[in-house]
Structure 1
């Protein structure tokens, strides 16, 4: 038996499928299956029932799960304690960020942080909000900076900044400087992907005005940069973070239009796990970003 097999067992149970566990671990499904079979051989019991084409955890698997979680957690804590004792542990900082924050806010922020602490090795990982929170759960990153919705019961969550979401259109669009909320129904809305934190916030705001269900013409693109290019080319309109379109507004590639009686302000969240041991580099970054 090894820790990796226990970690994989817990991940399969948490995610509900071998395929999802394999995807999150960047390994093949047969590799996950081999680790599960190894555990079953070690314990002499089936941990999952694979009959009828479905995979269900057995009573033996249910009994093992809390012990496996505790072993994995203690192993991670022991590694952190040893690394802190050695000293190299505190020289590394891995920050995870959702796309908008990672691409438009953090580069300059981390640049200033590195000038203050040049001895630290800083790594930035960028994904959508659910992906970053998965990495935080699995200890791939030290902290997360996201703009989407976060389960405050599962993590330590604090606001570190805010940003407003604004309506933008092409420079030659027929709109003036201000429109009514109903006017956007007749336009093609350009969205980010379905699990984007920004998209969820915009949708929640439009639902309050009973407009969301009236928007029939839309396009979905996988990045903010692609959306900005499409809007600038006159392919539609979009509601995007101000920090993401500041440069385009400044040079006239996009134009901001005010929506009467509607303003979308979103919080930007700093998210951490509640851990026993904390890196000095994490504390240094927290003190820096809170100033």
Structure 2
């Protein structure tokens, strides 16, 4: 029997999860199949890798010695796929991902066209939903990976920044503040605001930056909280208030001249967009190819 990567991947996942059942669920395998692969690995090395008790499993001395090599093999496999993805122009496959609202509605539609031209044999299935729903579907193996607007803290998830974004003060095109060369925070706060609902990535970036500057958010005149960026834009266009939104989401309205966008003096609302997927999962080459495309291309030409 030869040593193979699949067995090392299973071994690493069992050690991470602390149980054969947890590893089986994470790897989408049956528990007997996981047990069989671990036994085969133990037979290959001639050493027990886990101490099994009724309540939990622990690594043996041999298991602890093997663990860093298994981890390095997984990292090397991921690096290999990333390095080779630039050569896979004839790759065939299905790219299935989830994206949170701003990314799914305003970023990806502008990128999928150029990606499709470069990789015409990869079909794309995109689900647009909130971050919590994306995480849930990834955990249930219904999605391969997701793109989200805020960091995810989860022990089973790998997170990687793929794109930067800036939020700007958004005003009706004829608003008096749009005539000023410099707008201070005090200027902006004299007017009511229309904002995204609590928990949204856009709202979170705005609040965190203002809190960082010592501002009491209760002093902000929030007239409306709306559940979509489109609804917020319509409310601002109707002169119901100002807002702070991603510059990517207002490109069309600025071009039409119905909305204006300005920076607030001394403040930058910056954030990163992240890819997330299970630690225990190796992304298919179609997903690696798409993420490499996002990181290595000059996306400003399309955004």
Q: Which moved more, 1:67-76 or 1:199-208?
A: 67-76
Structure 2 spans left out of the alignment, 5+ residues: 1-17, 34-91, 297-303
Asked if the contact 1:192/1:221 (under 8 Å) is kept, the reply is yes
Deviation, structure 1 residue 124: 0.5
Aligned equivalent of 1:107:
109
Matched, 1:252 2:205: no
Q: Deviations over 1:94-148 (max 9, x none)?
A: 1111111111110121222222222222100111222222222222211111112
Q: Secondary structure at the match of 1:113?
A: helix
Q: CA deviation at 1:246?
A: 1.3
2:146 and 2:277 in contact (8 A); partners too: yes
Q: What is the CA–CA distance in structure 1 between the aligned matches of 2:254 and 2:282, rounded to whole Å?
A: 44
Query: Is 1:185–2:138 an aligned residue pair?
Result: no
1:148 is matched with which residue: 139, 142, 150? 150
Deviations 1:6-47 (A, max 9, x none): xxxxxxxxxxxxxxxxxxxxxxxxxxxxxxxxxxxxxxxxxx
Structure-2 change in CA distance of 1:128 and 1:74 (3 Å)? closer
**Change beyond 3 A, Cα 1:224–1:235:** same
Listed as ranges, the gaps of 5+ residues in structure 1 are 1-64, 79-89
Asked if the contact 2:166–2:269 (Cα under 8 Å) also holds between the matched residues in 1, the reply is yes
State the partner residue of 1:75. Answer: 28
Between the aligned partners of 2:110 and 2:186, the Cα distance in structure 1 is 38
- The aligned residue for residue 11 of structure 1 is none
Specify the alignment match of 1:279 in structure 2.
284
Task: Return the match for 1:222 from 213, 224, 227.
Answer: 227
Distance change (3 Å), C-alpha of 1:129 and 1:276: closer
Matched residues in 1 for 2:211 and 2:163: separation? Answer: 25
Secondary structure of the residue aligned to 2:263 is strand
Paired residues of 1:149 and 1:197 also in contact (CA < 8 A): no
Within 5 A, what are the aligned runs for 1:166-177?
Answer: 166-175=168-177, 176-177=180-181
Query: 1:76 & 1:251 partners in 2: Cα distance?
Result: 53
Q: Distance in 2 between matches of 1:116 and 1:267?
A: 25
Which is worse superposed, 121-130 or 69-78?
69-78
The 10-residue stretch of structure 1 (233-242 or 116-125) with the greater mean CA deviation from structure 2: 116-125
CA distance in 1 between counterparts of 2:184 and 2:196 reads 23
Distance of 1:233 and 1:201 partners within structure 2 = 24
Give deviations 1:63-104, integer Å, cap 9, x for gaps: xx96653442343488xxxxxxxxxxx722211111111111
Query: Does 272-281 or 194-203 show the bigger shift?
Result: 272-281
Distance, in Å, in 2 between the alignment partners of 1:126 and 1:276 is 22
TM-score, length of structure 1 as denominator length: 0.68
State the alpha-carbon separation in 2 of the partners of residues 278 and 207 from structure 1.
Answer: 37
